[in-house]
Amino acid sequence: MSSFSLKNFFTFLALFLASLIQASASQTSQESLDKTTYNPVPAIMHHISDSHEWHFWGEGEGSATIHLPVILWSKDGLIGPFFSSKFHHNNDDHLVVKIGAHNLVKVHGKIYKLNDGQQHATFDSEHHLLNATLPIDFSITKNVASMFLALFFLLLFFGISGYKAKRNKVAPSGLLSFLEPLVLFVRDDIVKPNIGKNYQKYLPYLLTLFFFILMNNLVGLLPGSANVTGNIAITLVLSSITLLVTNISGNKSYWGHIFNPPGVPLALMPIMIPIEIIGIFTKPFALMIRLFANISAGHIIILSLISLIFMAQSGLGDIAAWSLSPIAVIFVLFMDLIEVLVAFLQAYIFTLLTSLFIGLATVDHH
């Protein structure tokens, strides 16, 4: 298409959208005075954060929500388990719920235990709870339930593939033909080149790491799903395991390069040694932030594009919403395809860098 025709196309598109917006604005000018523009931030933040219930769609009595088990531990012992439906009406007015001998209140998604003898929650001017303590939460939250779902899929897929691999003596087919190349790719193109001859010792962990991240990334793309690998607590645990495995496996040469960097003058040792020690923690920290930021950003972008439809409807009326819907849906579908690529890419990068860190810690320097 020539530049002239492209210019005409975009000019026509701009004029068409402008006319629709103008028509919608004139149609709903009086009604829009009483409306407020839809704010997508609460819905987006609710989706990417963890919670004690798994909400799919709808509001009020017609909503589709799974209330998950709540398990708390305080200095007085175990509280629960009980279902989060006890706090179903507690998000707005902070009503106290009595569970056994304990008075509990839910504030900003966290469940607090009121101090002994307290019947009502007390807040300061900044809405901080004054007369309660925060128990240790062992609840089956939305992210935990999603991880169990991903675990179920992994056990199912690898169970079927393993059974077929033992029985079939011919070329793999079906699910096995998809999983086997991934396993070989992780082994031959990620683990072997970066760790070397002792790669088999770390292969089970790295395969588990790769498929755990990949499956949770893919499950997170389903409608109504949880944001597991976009939760910084999850990525913190994964990177902490990498930190422990790397440094426990570190040989004499690895620690020698940290506490006695070769070729560094003695006068620079007080500077270089702290830098090397900081480097031990910055590498897994980068792993944590990279996975968390990339997955969360994808969820936020997709939800923001969908929210444009509701923002147009609340601000300009139904005509603007219907006009914007095809464009928003096209961009959402495009972003979904990009996110599938990102799901594989982030699992690959996390496993690759973990293999590289382990390889640097275990390599023999001569």
Q: Is residue 269 located within the same domain as residue 160?
A: yes
Its pTM surpasses 0.85: no
Q: Lowest mean pLDDT: which of 79-83, 90-94, 277-281, 339-343?
A: 90-94
Count of domains forming the chain: 2
Mean pLDDT of the chain: 83
Contact by Cβ (8 Å): 356, 283: no
The pLDDT, as a whole number, for residue 84 is 83
Q: Is residue 269 located within the same domain as residue 333?
A: yes
> What percent of the chain is predicted at pLDDT more than 70?
86
Q: Is residue 134 located within the same domain as residue 160?
A: no
Could you tell me how many residues make up the chain?
366
Cα distance between residue 93 and residue 106, in whole Å: 10
Asked if residue 317 has pLDDT above 70, the reply is yes
Q: Which of 140, 170, 191 is the last residue of a domain?
A: 140
Location of structure tokens 């709808």: 58
Q: Is residue 228 located within the same domain as residue 300?
A: yes
Tell me, yes or no, whether 48 lies in a domain.
no
Q: Is residue 110 located within the same domain as residue 208?
A: no
Q: Is residue 270 located within the same domain as residue 286?
A: yes
Q: Is residue 201 located within the same domain as residue 334?
A: yes
Tokens of 84: 């989060």
Closest among 157, 153, 109 to 134, alpha carbons compared: 109
Q: Is residue 126 located within the same domain as residue 231?
A: no
pLDDT tens for each residue of 224-237: 888 899 999 999 99
Residue 123 belongs to what domain range? Answer: 71-140
The pLDDT, as a whole number, for residue 12 is 54
Q: Is residue 125 located within the same domain as residue 153?
A: no
Residue type, 290: R
Q: Is residue 264 located within the same domain as residue 332?
A: yes
**Average pLDDT in the 335-354 region?**
93
Asked if residue 296 has pLDDT above 80, the reply is yes
